Amino acid sequence: MSKLILIFLLFAACIADAQVIPVPATVPSQRPKLDTLQSARTDTLKPKYINMGKIQGRRAALSSAIFPGLGQIRNGITFYRLLKIGGIYTGATLLTLSYIDNSKKYKDFLKELEDRAKNGGKPDPNSLYAAYPDPGLIAAKDNARRNKEVVIFSMAGLYLLNIIEAYIDARLKYFDVGEVTFKVGPSLLNTGTMYGFSPVSAGLKITIAL
């Protein structure tokens, strides 16, 4: 009887061992790594670089394009900038007066030539230009016309110079050169080869470190 009980227990133990269900391996968590989170947070919090010189330069150039001298005022009112504004308007005034004068002369010379052509080439005795010959009047008329064209191009150049100067002034206002170091020391300069020798002369060497 005891042998039967022992055999039954062994048989039951074998069945229990065969029915053990394997436990699946744990699936690794899908959470992002801590390093990835920290790097993303650092990129988000990092302030973006803003080039104020470029922004202010564009604004100053646009202001000077709309109204000459306004860009210089936007850069800050100083004695030096007021002198530049005064120079811009002084040059514009002189160019305008020169254009008016040459335009008047061109019309007068042209009218004189037209009147002479109507009178058979004879000048009017009461005319201011009666003593001038026809070739001289033609040359004076062409010269006045060329002067008008030069004045127009000069006005355009002054207008563009006003815009460019305002832009550069704004860029330099926000330009930081940092620490600039100058070093001056003695040096030897090779002046070339003469009679098989290479003579040298003393000099100064200037080094600029930015």
| Residue 191 identity (one-letter amino acid) | T
In this structure, is residue 40 part of a structural domain?
no
Cβ burial of 9 (10 Å; 0-12, 13-18, 19+) is exposed
pLDDT at 128 over 50: yes
Domain count, the chain: 1
H or E element in which residue 3 lies = helix 2-18
Distance CA 141, CA 150 (A): 14
| Mean pLDDT of the 85-98 span | 96
Confidence tier at 20 by pLDDT (50, 70, 90): very low
pLDDT at 37 over 60: no
Tell me what the pLDDT averaged over the chain comes to. 77
CB 97 within 8 A of CB 155: no
How much is the pLDDT for 55?
A: 87
In this structure, is residue 35 part of a structural domain?
no
| Mean pLDDT of the 11-19 span | 52
How much is the pLDDT for 129?
A: 82
In this structure, is residue 117 part of a structural domain?
yes
How much is the pTM?
A: 0.61
In this structure, is residue 119 part of a structural domain?
yes
Distance CA 70, CA 62 (A): 9
Distance CA 132, CA 158 (A): 36
How much is the pLDDT for 127?
A: 80
In this structure, is residue 15 part of a structural domain?
no
Distance CA 145, CA 107 (A): 9
Task: Give the residue numbers spanning the domain of 131.
Answer: 52-183
Confidence tier at 142 by pLDDT (50, 70, 90): very high
The DSSP annotation for 17-33 comes to HHTPPPPPPPPPP-PPP
In this structure, is residue 76 part of a structural domain?
yes
Q: Is 207 helix (H, G, I), strand (E, B) or coil?
A: strand
In this structure, is residue 136 part of a structural domain?
yes
| Higher per-residue confidence, 187 vs 158 | 158
Q: What are phi and psi of 51, to 5 degrees?
A: -85, 95
In this structure, is residue 44 part of a structural domain?
no
Q: Per-residue pLDDT tens for 94-124?
A: 999 999 999 999 999 999 998 888 888 788 7
The DSSP annotation for 32-56 comes to PPHHHHHHHHHHHHSPPP--HHHHH
